[in-house]
Amino acid sequence: MLKSVRQDERVYVCDFSLLIFDEVHHCAKEHPYNILMQIVHDYQGPKPQTMGLTASLGVGMATSDESGMASIYELMANIGATSLASVKRHLDILEQYVPKPVDMTRKVDRPPMDKSPFLRTLMTIMGKIQNDVEPKLKTLTQDNSTGCKLSKEEIRFEDPLSTEKYIQKVNTLATTLAKVYNGDFKFEPSIALEYLGQDFEMAQATTSEGARL
pLDDT attached to residue 23: 95
Domain count, the chain: 2
Number of other CB atoms surrounding residue 63 within 10 Å: 9
Shared-domain flag, residues 61 and 121: no
Shared-domain flag, residues 59 and 92: yes
Q: What is the pLDDT of residues 44-79, one digit of tens each?
A: 999 999 999 998 888 877 888 888 899 999 999 999
Look up the pTM and report it.
0.46
Is 2 among the domain residues? no
Shared-domain flag, residues 59 and 129: no
- Report the alpha-carbon distance of residue 119 to residue 115 in Å, rounded: 9
Q: What is the pLDDT of residues 91-121, one digit of tens each?
A: 888 888 887 888 888 887 766 766 788 888 8
Helix (H, G, I), strand (E, B) or coil at 105: coil
Alpha-helical runs (H) found in 6-46 = 32-42
pLDDT bin (cut points 50, 70, 90) of residue 4 is low
